[in-house]
Chains A and B, each alone.
Chain A
Amino acid sequence: GENVEQHPSTLSVQEGDSAVIKCTYSDSASNYFPWYKQELGKRPQLIIDIRSNVGEKKDQRIAVTLNKTAKHFSLHITETQPEDSAVYFCAASGGDYKLSFGAGTTVTVRA
């Protein structure tokens, strides 16, 4: 099955700086890569996703890049704000219903 690895496990950034989270996956058939944000005690919420026919996607301060050859994808958050503090999960799917998640990155934005 699919194996998704995520780094770093924790990330502390100064408010206004950028944060980058990287994920690798093992199944070359995977072609859908969503990112979820989970605040403490809350449900995971989709913040952005990318499909294999696109190399980069941006939504305001959030961007995701995908390198299918290297089988890795990254989340970039620019101009971080305190409300960006949360746990972020990457996931991969082979075009079906089953999401395989990374272990998560705890992001702390220091004011």
Chain B
Amino acid sequence: GAGVSQTPSNKVTEKGKYVELRCDPISGHTALYWYRQSLGQGPEFLIYFQGTGAADDSGLPNDRFFAVRPEGSVSTLKIQRTERGDSAVYLCASSLAPGQGYEQYFGPGTRLTVT
């Protein structure tokens, strides 16, 4: 079946602009995660959704970052007033349910470049 998809695959934006990154999880997966991967580093947790609600947003760097999942499926990560330090690959993952018993399947990522 179809895996996790993310759009756009690449996004170049100017400093100070607003961006939205989209994630389509695997159908039927209730848990959705956002991670950020900087060059040469492992993914870093940002936020986790169980259904429509953000169960844990402790990894969001600051209040410029926000994510929604209004219908419990597609999620959008929103970044306001982008800064050059926001440049990274933003990865989305989904799992059948939360917890260690369920593999997290990753999407291909959105490469964000802030100029």
Contacts and interface: CB of A to CB of B under 8 A. Distances in A.
B45 to A, nearest CB: 5
A65 interface: no
B56 A104 contact: no
B40 interface: yes
Contacts, number: 62
A43 B98 contact: no
B72 interface: no
Contact of A98 (B4, B48, B103): B48
B43 interface: yes
Q: How many B residues are at the interface, by size bracket?
A: 20 to 34
Interface string B29-50: 0010101000011111100101
Contact of A91 (B40, B42, B107): B42
B67 interface: no
A79 B55 CA distance: 43
Given A98-B45, A99-B33, A99-B45, 16 more contacts: A43-B106, A43-B108, A43-B109, A46-B104, A46-B105, A89-B43, A95-B100, A96-B100, A97-B55, A97-B56, A98-B56, A99-B35, A99-B43, A102-B42, A103-B42, A104-B40
Interface of B: 3-4, 31, 33, 35, 40-45, 48, 50, 55-56, 59, 91, 95, 98-100, 103-109
